[in-house]
Structure 1
Amino acid sequence: MYSKKLKLLTLLAICLTLFSYGQIKIIDNDSKETLHDVKIINSQTNDSLTANSNEYFEILKAGTYILKKAGYFDKVVSLKKDKYYIIALSINPSELNEIIINANHIPKKLKKSTKSIILISLKDIERSNSINFASVLNRTPGIFMQSGALNTNRITIRGIGSRNLFGTAKIRAYFKDIPLTNGSGETNIEDFELASISRFEIIKGTTSSEYGAGLGGTINITPKNAYLNTSSINNDLIIGSFGLTKGIINLNHGTAKNSYSAIYSNTHSDGYRENNKYDRQTFTLSSNHFLTKKDEISFLASYLDLKAFIPSSINESTYINSPKSAVLYMETSSGL
């Protein structure tokens, strides 16, 4: 009996509290959810307060009030001190709220990514020869690389880029966040030394919100870095048909907080056809310096000296009688 009287007294006290001051609750007219960050302005005194986190707000003074919130129509209401109000605000379609776009630049686990991403690890790269990118990329689903010569290649992702006859288009590429795609949309990744790359990250599909207009996708290339507290020297020599020779020297040195890597390569090939010689020298230097636990600075330099001939197209009779003949010449040289 005593507990029932206590409950009645408590309920009566709550009711007296509710009606001693007027109260207001502001909701969305469509979802009926409580709105926050609503500005309440007294039209007579211009006094204002902002409804932040509380669900109910006390009306200390009767009068006419203006309710304002970004993305909603303003509403004018007359309020009294001893009443309880639920006021709904309608969305203003001409005034959009803030739009936030999240991209994949923030590191996250691969299984949580919302895009189709393929990773080609160092182990996968070393399974192939270090002469041509095609043998590495063509084992990846949805990606096809055609190689006419060592310096003429075409990459397509899910068929995008197949209309471009001589080169890679509609696909963006980055070498450690340095763009490799020029202003006309052409991408060349074969100019870099394959032995200096530790990983490919290939995003299949449009990536305009992150990497610019790339209808087919994006190829992110990560160069090799030296291990900390380790020093090593490696060299490779490759000999193949049609006068192919390639030498690679790899120098690595790492301390407790710094790592340095230098890779030099020299490639020569006479080619199968006339005017198909290929001479290339590359030098890639990268270093990483760990300043603090969260701060890191890195340097990257790449030099390329390339002299390459591209054989011209031939007709059917020439292909049958003299398939090695050609007439066209081209020389290129570049550095990063």
Structure 2
Amino acid sequence: MKFIDEVKITLASGRGGPGCVSFRRESMQARGGPDGGNGGKGGDVIIRTSRHINSLVDLRQNKRYAAQSGRMGEGRQKSGMDGEDFVLIVPEGTVIRNMDGEIIVDMTGISEYTLLKGGRGGKGNEFFKNSINQAPEHAQPGEDNEEIEVKLELKLIADVGIIGFPNAGKSTLVSRISAARPKIADYPFTTLTPNLGVVKAGDYTSFVVADIPGLVKGAHEGVGLGIQFLKHIERTRLFIHLVDASGLSGREPLDDFMDINNELKMYDENNQDKEGFFPLATRPQFVVLNKIDTLSDNQLSKLKNKFKDVTGSEPYAISAVTGKNIKEFVQELARQILKEEEQ
């Protein structure tokens, strides 16, 4: 299924049904009087989250969704039926904005939200009967509905976001430490959709990792897959910054590390004024050198020292393909997540 993370749609609640003008006309009832019933209420537009869907692809079928309008009142004081609510099912973590970009509601931790109220039904002429006006010949029209054009934006919810250049081994790492089985191949942008995996780090500890598609230089301006996936790491608690230590790509591992961090800083600068935005560059990073099975001990030691000189701490070293140091890596990662939760 294609991953759809942004959709523009129009939503409308239902109009209220009009009240009825009616007079009783029965045998043996010389002065029946007014008996027009009230109109029904229009349906609401309700946003509801579901754990069983993970994209907005189904909402691309239609551009407008509306609740049902209330029915008109009838004679004999019969009220019109209320219109059915329209329930829009979205994935957890969906952000709903107006067309000015302002957040209306963030469906993170919220199971249901009433976005638009249906119009009230109009009163029938029986409602207006009094001692002075015993035969009112008017009724209320139904109240107007509400309509709004919105932008739905889905951001993945994960504890850990795995960032790094294409072919750094992110998908391989996710498949190694979780039950997720993303597509893996040796060419740029193999991963076209973010992959989520649940990692077990003990009998009672687990966390969710998101394999974020490869970033490249200029991603904050939309180069490569760019901004489309940069925003998905906004919700993660910390990052695994995965670096291809092999050098087989023709790039320097430390340069890759610096370039990705620069993209995070530039992305922050471009989005710092947006409501609800949390900077990426200041998030804790768990720096990991991957593909160490291609290096000698001496080469690995020199590379670790280079990173330590820049970051102030020694990076973790693994091989996602062979599984070397993976178990210890997961345990240390779980400790880091627990530490972030306690802060």
TM-score of the two chains, using structure 2 as the length reference: 0.26
| Higher percent of residues as strand | 1
Structure number, greater radius of gyration: 1
TM-score of the two chains, using structure 1 as the length reference: 0.26
Higher RCO, Cα 8 Å, sep 6+: 2
